[in-house]
Amino acid sequence: MAAKGGAAPATYSPSLTTSKEKRRAPLFSEADWVRPDGRGFHQCRLAFMRTAAVNSASGSAYAEFGNTKVMVSVFGPRESKKAMMYSDVGRLNCNVSYTTFATASRGQVSDNKDFSAMLHKALEGSIILESFPKTTVDVFALVMESGGSDLPVIISCASLALADAGIMLYDLVASASVSYLGKNLVMDPITEEESYQDGSMMITCMPSRNEVTQLTLTGDWSTPKIHEAMELCLDACSKLAKIMRSCLKEAASPSQVEE
């Protein structure tokens, strides 16, 4: 067995990958390095989005950005629970969950417990809550595979699902994040880049109204860098919103042909 173990590293060795990761860390601090997936610093991952992923839901959407795969179902508007007080505006209920196999190590989800609240805050401003008084809309998001920048993908996908459900919206909400790695701003980071990041910024916005609904920032930033990161995020958001819009149009057009 020992001899076999000694011969094995050529094809498979768990220790080899860890040493490789350790070598990557200083690499990020250098001025020019290549991103693990070969993208440019300001390039987003390819976005794939589809509506109507779940039949039983009022509206649903599936999004795949690189390895990040997210599904969101929207139920309602349905009657608020009896215990809730009367409200002349609608309620939004958001829940984000991870599958047990979403991350490399099982049960690593403790970082993400505030995602539900963040999703709620990001979407709240875009929904015309007055249009469904006394009722609740449920938004359930499931991350099937976590590949970095999970929250922006969840938020964009949820907004698409809300539109698919026919909930009245002021505008679609698109979201993007950048990581601060060494001296570079890196758009739409993957998990590996996120784990080495020195800072991050996430913006969710309604591009047609030019309004930011949610914004978080961590790490040490100078004002010019904030300006630059915001420009990048807003630009990515408006491009993503175009993709989302065309996705909705696509979903609507075949039914017209059938008629």
Partner 1 sequence: MGGLSTGEKNFINGGVAQDLRTDGRKRLTYRPIYITTGVIPQANGSARVKMGATDVIASVKAELGRPTAAYPDKGKVSINVDCSPTAEPTFEGRGGEELSSELSMALQRCLLGGKSGAGAGIDRSSLSIVEGKICWDLYIEGLVVSSDGNLLDALGAAIKAALSNTALPKVQVASVAADEQPEVDLSSEEFLQFDTSGVPVIITLTKVGKHYIVDATSEEESQMSSAVSVSVNRQGHICGMTKRGGAGLDPSVILDMVSVAKHLSEQLIIKLESDIAAAEAYEEEE
* Nearest distance in Å: CB 124, partner 1: 4
Residue with tokens 């978080």: 216
| Residue number with CB closer to partner 1 (39 or 121) | 121
* Cα 121 from chain centroid (whole Å): 14
Task: List Cα–Cα distances, 202 to 80, 94, 116, in angstroms.
Answer: 32, 19, 15
Count of residues of this chain found to bind partner 1 when the rule CB under 8 A is applied: 37
* Nearest distance in Å: CB 195, partner 1: 6
Nearest to 154 by CA among 198, 197, 192, 102: 102
Give the separation between CA 186 and CA 134, rounded to whole angstroms: 43
* Nearest distance in Å: CB 251, partner 1: 26
Among 16, 84, 128, 226, interactor with partner 1 by CB under 8 A: 226
Binding span for partner 1 by CB under 8 A among 51-59, 72-80, 213-221, 248-256: 213-221
As a whole number of Å, the end-to-end CA separation of the chain is: 68
Cβ 178 vs Cβ 227: under 8 Å: no
* Nearest distance in Å: CB 41, partner 1: 17
Phi and psi angles of residue 21, each rounded to the nearest 5 degrees, phi first: -65, -35
* Nearest distance in Å: CB 255, partner 1: 32
Among 209, 242, 246, 252, interactor with partner 1 by CB under 8 A: 209
Position 39 contacts partner 1 (CB under 8 A): no
Span 73-132, contacts to partner 1 by CB under 8 A = 113-114, 117, 121, 124-126
Cβ 217 vs Cβ 46: under 8 Å: no
Binding span for partner 1 by CB under 8 A among 56-64, 153-161, 210-218, 238-246: 210-218
Give the separation between CA 230 and CA 224, rounded to whole angstroms: 10
Nearest to 25 by CA among 220, 200, 192: 192
Site string for partner 1, 153-192 (x = CB under 8 A): ---------------------------x------------
Cβ 51 vs Cβ 251: under 8 Å: yes
Contact set with partner 1 (CB under 8 A): 113-114, 117, 121, 124-126, 180, 194-201, 205-206, 209-223, 226-227, 230, 234
